[in-house]
Amino acid sequence: MIVKICGITNQRDATAAIAGGATAIGFNFYPRSPRYIPPEQAAEITSPPGVRRVGVFVDVAPALIEQIARTASLDVAQLHGAETANGYPASLPVWKAVRVGPGFDFVCFRDCPAEALLLDGPAGELFGGAGEPFDWKLAIGAPKPIIVAGGLDASNVALAVALAHPWGVDACSRLESAPGKKDNRKMTDFLRAAREALGR
């Protein structure tokens, strides 16, 4: 199971997330994001073996993703753009982010080679961290493992898990005191609720 805290920008928040039970931490490499972190700075944020380091990318060439992955010691590329399978990096697993809205279905993702689909709510130009949930019942029937994101916190993660039956969950903006700065209490409460809901 995946319990991910995204938008990590500093060691303090990464350490607190991992201590609270996060199994993955996310770094946003989209330059227009308020949670953007340079790869070199992400590389300085340490994490123990077994905690997945996930990079958020938007329409970045595979070769550059792989270069950043080496610099920041990434384990997963989370792709939020219009990438097709030809645009996936060859050297690390991909979580393909998908915005879910009315009328959504999985038809075009049946043959997607991603390890998982990260289902997100509407985010405008933010590409992660907008804090908007989607109808979790739309996740039913996914052709591969899913990670539910978008508007999750301690108050609703159990319901999201009950309705969507995901492989994992991912939270960001609702756990912050400011963009890129986590509120330790909100994060700890979310991690506890998420782990209980996922049976971890």
Question: Residue 103: pLDDT band by 50, 70, 90 thresholds?
Answer: confident
Domain span holding position 145: 2-198
- Report the catalytic residues: 6, 120
**From the CB of residue 61, how many other CB atoms can be counted at a distance below 10 Å?**
12
Mind listing the pLDDT tens digit for each residue in 141-157? 899 999 999 999 999 99
User: Nearest to residue 93, comparing CAs of 63, 52, 121?
Assistant: 52
Mean pLDDT score of the chain: 93
CATH number reported for the structural domain that contains residue 192 in this entry? 3.20.20.70
Say which residue the tokens 């610099």 belong to.
Answer: 71
Contact 117, 146 (CB under 8 A): yes
What is the tally of structural domains in the chain? 1
pLDDT at 108: 86
Instruction: Tell me the percentage of the chain whose pLDDT exceeds 70.
Output: 95
User: Nearest to residue 141, comparing CAs of 116, 164, 118?
Assistant: 164
CA angle (51, 52, 56) in 5-degree steps:
145
pLDDT at 104: 87
Instruction: Tell me the percentage of the chain whose pLDDT exceeds 90.
Output: 83
Q: What is the DSSP string of 151-168?
A: S--TTTHHHHHHHH--SE
Q: Is the model's pLDDT at 128 over the cut of 70?
A: no
Phi, psi of 2, rounded to the nearest 5 degrees: -110, 125
Which residues, at least 6 apart from 111, have a Cβ–Cβ distance to it below 8 Å? none
Mind listing the pLDDT tens digit for each residue in 32-89? 999 999 999 999 999 999 999 999 999 999 999 999 999 999 999 999 999 988 889 9
Over residues 14-32, mean pLDDT: 97
